[in-house]
Structure 1
Amino acid sequence: TKDDFSYQLACKEEYHGVHDQQSLLECNVKTVQNVTILTVTWKRVGGDASLLEYHKEENNSTLGFKFAVPSWNKKNMNVSLLLTNTKMADKGEYECMVETDSGDATATTSLSVTVMYKSPTMSSSPENSIKQNTNVTIFFNSTGGHQKGLIWWFDEFGTNCTESAELVAKETDD
């Protein structure tokens, strides 16, 4: 009967993803008997829309979300979710719901996302012929990070000049 089942849905509590890379939210049906999966649904906790759903032999998924196992079928107990191109907006809690011919189970997991800064570039104004005791503007540019960075400036004697520098941070789409 549906009330007499012995399986569980095992997901790790937390995952760490990297921006613009794949992220895997592992979830497996652990069972002592053969079960057939009837429905799998992955969604954001608190969200209405399914990110991935298997029901009645059909897979439906939102762009960027899919089963981690490429040729997944109802006998496969690995119901892990693959995010194909992780974004900052993907961080948060996820819920996996599985219905089998032996009962239902739900598990949650969370995803944090890290964004790596790209290699910095430096330039100055004037670019060439910098003379001693004249004003020079130095530009330091790095993109890709999510949070505002902090730059420390030191002169040739090791004196911290950070207070006399102006930090301008601009938000971009990357």
Structure 2
Amino acid sequence: MERIGPPLTGDERETLRAFLDYHRATLAWKCEGLTDEELRRTSMPPSTLSLLGLVRHMGEVERHWFRRTLNGEELPHLWSETHDFQAAYDASGATREEAFAAWEAEVAHARRIEAAAESLDVTAYVASWKEEASVRLVMLHLIHEYARHNGHADLLRQAIDGATGA
């Protein structure tokens, strides 16, 4: 996934897409060049957070907001039979191949669903909020989610091999 900075003069939709893709690419970049073992390495106890766990979690988040919420698909969770979003963080038996394949597939679905929406004002019911939310809000929510977790990814990567950078 190529990391390209958002346009300085794009329209709203183009800018949201670019920021979301920038953050997606940042997560992938933080994982580049690491072995499965390094990607599974957890942060300091008691946390079990790992780079691979973050990739799995973001796959679950993409799936939930774009496919389940915006597209109305009834889908199981990727890594939990009990609808537990936290299960994705447990990457103890995960591989780069399976985690990235699932995450990249969900990103592709998300892009397709967003592109098919007539406008950013299209809404869908969010059961946990008991309200409608727009495509715009979903995109902003995902940008926020990636930005927060990319901060975690930066610290995790630095602990593995000292690499830093945004």
Indicate whether the TM-score tops 0.5.
no
Q: Find the structure with the greater CA-based Rg.
A: 1
Which has a greater percent of helix?
2
Q: TM-score, normalized by length of structure 2?
A: 0.27
Which structure has more relative contact order (CA 8 Å, sep 6+)? It is 2
| TM-score between the two structures when normalised by the length of structure 1 | 0.26
Structure with greater strand share of residues: 1
